[in-house]
Amino acid sequence: MGGEGQLRGRARRLRAGLVLAACGTLIAGCASMPDEGNMKKVEASQRPDSQSQVRVYAMPPPEDAGAVDIVQGFLEALTSDDPDFAIARKYLTKEASKNWHPERSTTVLADGPNTVADNVGNSNEGERTYSLTGRRLATVNAQRAYQPDSGTFKQAIHLTQQNGPNGGAWRIDAPPAGVVLGESDFERNYQAVNKYYFASPPKGLGPARQVGAQQGLVADPIYVRQRIDPLTETVKALLEGPSNRLDPAVRTAVPMGARLAPDAKSLTPDDKNKLVVPLNARGDSLVHDQCTQVAAQLLFTLQDLPSSGVEQVELQQRNGSRLCVLGKDRAETVAPHRTADLPAYQYFVDDKRQLVRMPGNAGSDAGPEPVTGPFGDGEQPLRSAAVSRDEERAAGVSLDGRRLFTSSVVSKGPLGSPELRSRAKSEKDGFSTPSWDGRGDLWVADRDPRRSRLLWLAAGTGEPVQVRVPDLDGRIEAVRVAADGVRVALLVRKDGKTSLRIGLIEWAEGKGGQPDISVVELLEAAPQMEEVTAMSWAGVSRLVVVGRESGGVQQMRYVQCDGSARTGATLPGLTGVKEIAASEDERQPLVAHSDDGIVRLPSGAQWQTVVKEGRTPVYPG
């Protein structure tokens, strides 16, 4: 029986490949899975990854399908473009279909699930039990949020034989919880989209610094099935609210309980690219300003769906009355989407240990020039520096790493006393490269082995606040605060290895007029890399990371702040990368410190050398 099943599986996969080549559609195949014996691998994840536009159609179970074919057909149906998994349900008993909720979780395995027969359970007539096993990479929860989740996966799947002629048809009466599929099928079927919510105002900063703090938008990445009405699913996800992980740091303008109207099945923009979003009765309470905020959230969210084409959003009451309408031209006035001012310059420390700048446009012929002030005239040699997002001030670390200064970079003046001092004895320790947040406050890690800590300085001056990182296991080597001011990326070193962690910044009222600041919910954001050597924010929800996988060579790639990474997201090779800088404006070129000096990567081009000597390239932030 096993050999016969294997032969059928090969033939059906061959036919599937022929159909794919001939007409751009793929009919699911069936790999072998004997009733007894050793572990076999489902071949679903072995399809080519190149045709993301190809639709994959599930096949219903044949009338004479054996238990092996039912399990295999069900697993193949989970990888298809089947709305509501209607075909997958045909492999289940009626009761199992009623109680199975595939939308609640998706388990992503390194490869398609392996199957092994439970020989003890299969001794009963009319019953079969198999185990699905594999190496788990992540789960996507009911909120559509991606969560890295490494470890061993094992779940049982049970079948019974229904009453009927010739012993009856086999059906699954105990399916796996949710959807289980391999990484390549996940990448083919699912699309990353950023939902947007408003940053909650930080507590403890004082009333004067709260002005405008609520208006910035924060990206909340999710995954939707990219060929199963992604526009409607994305709108639903936005209305349902932020993911549990981001919820403490953001707010939404959507009223509690407001959702799509019950009769709104599928949303499509009209011929003028206006999308009408009818809400249920809970949405009737929206006043105009709140309504335009919801519309802005929707507009920016749908811009992350390239195929949506939405340029205007109209919210309606359930009875069809208009609540408000907002176009893309006005959305930025309601809620700044990204940094309000795009960076004018890129910066680095040159061979004279001065802070220099060069035009942000990589096509400019202008070379590096020293900044104005003490950081540019050589008064204080620098090891590293960071420039505020308004490009008016900078923070610099002395060559020995033990002193941190701040100074203007637009006007001349004497350099004041250090804002901070480190007690680190070795020059390789001391302060990390600083980072400015969107409010003009400064963050830096003191890497003194005897007293390592993360520090925050209001406006870059005054009494520092030690930031608590309760889940920290290791020493912070580098810190980068995201433009949204809600997330912070940390390089953490432990036992000779460095990993990338993303945390949320939590604010509370402190003592003596200072805020109580914590970094919580630390997430390993590049789990596939054994060693991370450099990183930078490279957009509203992604970072560019330099590191290497186990047994591999150094590489650069993009990773999402939720820990997900798309296959093929590597960048052109570069020798000996020590530092990397990117802008939240994704149109700006990458800048790196490598064995070739300071180099940058314009869009669609190769790496270009700027100068042979230099270090610490940074964008404002």
| Alpha helix ranges (H) inside 205-246 | 230-240
* Average pLDDT value for residue range 343-369: 87
Tokens 């490269």 belong to 433
Q: Indicate whether 569 pLDDT > 80.
A: no
194 beta partners: 221
- The reported pLDDT for the residue numbered 567 is 60
The residue among 469, 465, 552 whose CA lies nearest residue 515 is 465
- The reported pLDDT for the residue numbered 24 is 39
Q: Indicate whether 573 pLDDT > 70.
A: yes
Q: Indicate whether 608 pLDDT > 50.
A: yes
Distances in whole angstroms, Cα of residue 487 to Cα of each of 181, 306, 525, 580, 581: 30, 25, 12, 19, 17
Q: Indicate whether 50 pLDDT > 60.
A: no
* Least trusted range by pLDDT, from 229-233, 422-426, 505-509, 525-529: 525-529
* Average pLDDT value for residue range 213-219: 74
> pLDDT-derived band of residue 587, with 50, 70 and 90 as boundaries?
confident
* Least trusted range by pLDDT, from 242-251, 282-291, 330-339, 420-429: 330-339
DSSP H or E stretch at residue 293: helix 288-303
Query: pLDDT tens, 500-539?
Result: 999 999 999 998 888 999 999 999 998 888 999 999 999 9
In a 13 Å sphere around the CA of 455, the CA atoms on its Cβ side amount to: 25
* Average pLDDT value for residue range 108-113: 92
> Greatest CA separation found in the chain?
95
Domain boundaries, the chain: 2-189, 191-334, 345-618
Query: pLDDT tens, 461-478?
Result: 999 999 999 999 999 999
Average pLDDT value over all residues in the chain: 87
Distance CA 372, CA 352 (A): 15
* Average pLDDT value for residue range 3-29: 33
Query: pLDDT tens, 372-399?
Result: 999 999 889 999 999 999 999 999 999 9
Q: Tell me the two tokens of residue 519.
A: 């970094």
- The reported pLDDT for the residue numbered 41 is 44
466 beta partners: 455
Distance CA 226, CA 597 (A): 41
* Average pLDDT value for residue range 485-492: 96
- The reported pLDDT for the residue numbered 233 is 96
Burial class (CB in 10 A: 0-12, 13-18, 19+), 319: exposed
Query: pLDDT tens, 290-339?
Result: 999 999 999 999 988 877 899 999 999 999 999 999 999 999 889 876 54
Q: Please report, rounded to a whole number, the percentage of residues in the chain having pLDDT higher than 70.
A: 86
- The reported pLDDT for the residue numbered 43 is 45
Q: Which residue has better confidence, 232 or 56?
A: 232
- The reported pLDDT for the residue numbered 249 is 93
Give the count of beta carbons closer than 10 Å to the beta carbon of residue 278. 19
Distance CA 440, CA 444 (A): 13
Give the angle 334-339-343 at the CA atoms, nearest 5°.
Answer: 145
> pLDDT-derived band of residue 167, with 50, 70 and 90 as boundaries?
low
* Least trusted range by pLDDT, from 78-87, 165-174, 446-455: 165-174
- The reported pLDDT for the residue numbered 3 is 35
* Least trusted range by pLDDT, from 73-77, 212-216, 394-398, 494-498: 212-216
> pLDDT-derived band of residue 140, with 50, 70 and 90 as boundaries?
very high
Give CATH superfamily name and number for 345-618: TolB, C-terminal domain (2.120.10.30)
* Average pLDDT value for residue range 19-27: 35
